[in-house]
Structure 1
């Protein structure tokens, strides 16, 4: 197994952990927001673990980006849809999603009311998950 194939498999497999944790955080946030439930330690930990998993996935992706044979820089990169996707589009979408999830986590920590905490996680994590899902579905 090469270094590239190891990180490719790790990055590819870990996405399921990310999706499950972010999805669970979103569901619990919507339940707390719409049900006007308390924001407890379980919510805080789930939201934190979801954010940590996204950041871990990002670190795996950065390593993969720099060792990948698909990433190329030059005039031909933008002409080829596969190299353009891996060199530009995929990581830009993922950075935006990670930023949104991080903002949602930060806003939930700063909010005073439980409804505001749940709402921040529900909205920002959901938008982040939609972008992540689009980024995965667009893989050529």
Structure 2
């Protein structure tokens, strides 16, 4: 079960990344264009895929051999125990806030701006988390 979930979690990150980047790209290039049903769907799919990724990640967190709080002095264990989960939850919270603000906004420009700002901050946070991963373990294999 662990290996299957790990592979699913590893695969799904690319879907999340593509959808979030696509949402950001649409928001940046929108200008004064209307907020279309396609914009809404892609933003929603990015949100859903990020939340699915979170749920799978939380299951992995509780069954992973890499989560061991007695090893907090070890940077690899500390990363998986605290840093990874904290930064990823914050990124997903930002995506959720961005989608919610976009949904509540009345003007199309405000909708695009909310997606652009919050999704961009979220993706930067994810990239910082990836780049801060300690050496000694492949980044693609938990």
Query: TM-score band (shorter)?
Result: over 0.9
Q: 1:12: which partner in 2?
A: 10
Q: TM-score, normalised by structure 1?
A: 0.92
Of residues 77, 93, 101 in structure 1, which corresponds to 2:95? 101
Give the superposition deviation at 1:6: 1.2
Structure 1 segments unaligned to the other structure (5+ residues): none
Report the 3-state secondary structure (helix = DSSP H, G, I; strand = E; otherwise coil) of the residue aligned with 1:79.
Answer: coil
TM-score in terms of structure 2 length: 0.91
TM-superposition CA deviations, 1:42-100 (whole Å, max 9, x none): 000100000001000001100110110010123xx321000000000000000110000
Deviation of 1:137 after TM superposition, in Å, equals 2.5
The within-5 A match list for 1:30-109 is 30-32=28-30, 35-74=31-70, 77-109=71-103
Deviating beyond 4 angstroms after TM superposition, the runs of 4 or more aligned structure 1 residues are: none
Provide the secondary structure at the position in 1 that maps to 2:106: coil
Q: What value does the CA root-mean-square deviation take over the aligned residues?
A: 0.9
What is the distance in 2 between the residues matched to 1:15 and 1:136? Answer: 12
Partner of 1:70, secondary structure, is: coil
Aligned residue pairs: how many? Answer: 134
Q: Distance in 2 between matches of 1:78 and 1:71?
A: 10
Q: Which segments of 5 or more consecutive residues in structure 2 lack a partner in the other structure? A: 135-142
